[in-house]
Amino acid sequence: MTDFYDDLETRSPARREEELFAALPAQLAHAKANAPYFSRLLAEVDPASVRDRAGLAALPVTRKSDLIALQKDAPPFGGLAALPVGQLARVFASPGPIHDPEPYGADPWRSARALFAAGFRKGDLAQNCFAYHMTPAGSMFETGAHAVGCAVIPAGTGNTELQAQVVAALKPRGYIGTPDFLKIILEKADELGLDSASLKIGSVSGGPYLPDARAFYEARGLDIYQCYGTADLGIVAYETPARSGLVVNEGVIVEILRPGTGDPVPDGEVGEVVVTLFSEAYPLVRFATGDLSAVMPGESPCGRTNVRLRGWLGRADQTTKVKGMFVHPSQVAEVLRRHPQLRRARLVVGRADASDTMTLRCEAEEGGEALEAAVRETLASVTKLRGTVELVPPGSLPNDGKVIEDARA
């Protein structure tokens, strides 16, 4: 098979969904039996009953932002890991600090599919410019490259002149690293008169892949593809030659939730990326990344049939301080919950007469002063702050995932 990593990528969406949710009860049972945190979190859950997205949506969400406190109370992994430290291949300390486990096995972070889609093939030499010390990115991509069959130069970060010299001497075909660092290496090679023409392909992550960088690489005949992942989850989604969104990786279940809640949003609406991981070592269930994205309609023109994401669209944690008090997206969601007539809402925080202001803009089919007054009273009750309410027609609010907009100068 030359176009796809394996036949899992091209199975029908219905078959994929059926197979994922057929496997989910056993995965939940494993997490509940072997990870103390999930033993407590899922204490009242019968894993055998969770067989579809509705069942999954009823489970509690675990937020990445909670990991620091959880791991401090129960080191090293906050009780979320299902294997003891001595049975792991590596343990990382990411910024925060947050500790991340890596199990033994081929491609434990599921990066091989992303590299294959970017053009990496057996026999290629790849220059891996992700960090190898403390953080998992270097190992995350090296193990995937090995699974594809590539040899790897463990270049790490920095040392730009040496990086350019290595490219000239060893002539790697592929680059792995952040979107901007390759440009720095190529420009240094040009400055030093070194040959960098061997580089043809690349897989980038760890930062936004902006249009100016794309244009730079295209002008030099380089095919560079982005992928999305986290230090906890590994690779969640990846770009393909179709250049049409990021295809969700096999072996994970992705939900897009309304920020501050556990509620899935309709396809196309921007929300928080939440992932359930099929991992023996780190069986994360409904793990909220804090990142915003949206599901794209239809299937990728490349032939892969999994769901596509629009890519990274910002951060979901929009907690804002108003008049000295924190207002959370979950509080806006609670106002919506109490008023089923409302579809979506956006709290705009402003400034007038040297004082903070709040305006809750709500989409509603039908308005009226009575509904405005009721919502205004609920807003005050939930946030302990007074604000105004503005009812707007459905579809009026931007589809950008923002629940709280801080419009103060």
Written as six digits, the tokens of 116 are 């294959």
From first to last of its 409 residues, the chain has per-residue pLDDT tens of: 359 999 999 999 999 999 999 999 999 999 999 999 999 999 999 999 999 999 999 999 999 989 989 999 999 999 999 999 999 999 999 877 899 999 999 999 999 999 999 999 999 999 999 999 999 999 999 999 999 999 999 999 999 999 999 999 999 999 999 998 999 999 999 999 999 999 999 999 988 888 888 999 999 999 999 999 999 999 999 999 999 999 999 999 999 999 888 999 999 999 999 999 999 999 999 999 989 999 999 999 999 999 999 998 888 878 888 887 878 888 999 999 999 999 999 999 998 876 789 999 999 988 889 999 999 999 999 998 999 999 999 999 999 888 999 888 6
Does 169 share its domain with 121?
Answer: yes
Could you give the 3-state DSSP secondary structure of residue 2?
Answer: coil
Closest by Cα among 320, 258, 252, 315 to 289: 315
The pLDDT assigned to 409 comes to 61
The pLDDT assigned to 313 comes to 87
Does 120 share its domain with 134?
Answer: yes
Domain boundary pick from 315, 345, 365: 315
Does 147 share its domain with 82?
Answer: yes
CA dist 90 and 144 (Å) reads 15
Q: Is 294 within the bounds of a domain?
A: yes
Q: Based on the structure, what is the number of domains in the chain?
A: 2
Does 273 share its domain with 387?
Answer: no
The pLDDT assigned to 168 comes to 98
Q: Is 53 within the bounds of a domain?
A: yes
Does 189 share its domain with 277?
Answer: yes
Does 330 share its domain with 304?
Answer: no
Q: What range defines the domain where residue 135 resides?
A: 7-315
Domain boundary pick from 315, 339, 367: 315
Does 306 share its domain with 329?
Answer: no
The pLDDT assigned to 371 comes to 95
Does 258 share its domain with 353?
Answer: no
Domain harbouring 203, CATH code: 3.40.50.12780
Q: What is the pTM of this model?
A: 0.85
CA dist 278 and 253 (Å) reads 8
Which secondary structure element, helix H or strand E, spans residue 40, and what is its range?
Answer: helix 36-41
Q: Is 1 within the bounds of a domain?
A: no
Q: Is 2 within the bounds of a domain?
A: no
Does 294 share its domain with 392?
Answer: no
Domain boundary pick from 290, 315, 340: 315
The pLDDT assigned to 207 comes to 81
Beta-bridge partner residues of 151: 125
Phi and psi torsions of 228, nearest 5° = -125, 130
Does 396 share its domain with 275?
Answer: no
* DSSP per residue, 239-300: E-TT-SSEEEPTTEEEEEE-TTSSPBPPTTS-EEEEEEE--SS----SEEEEEEE-EESS--
Read off the DSSP letter of residue 149.
T
Residues for the chain: how many in total? 409
Does 24 share its domain with 140?
Answer: yes
Q: Is 185 within the bounds of a domain?
A: yes
Domain harbouring 401, CATH code: 3.30.300.30
Does 130 share its domain with 228?
Answer: yes
Which secondary structure element, helix H or strand E, spans residue 92, and what is its range?
Answer: strand 90-94
Cβ atoms of 246 and 302 within 8 Å: the answer is: no
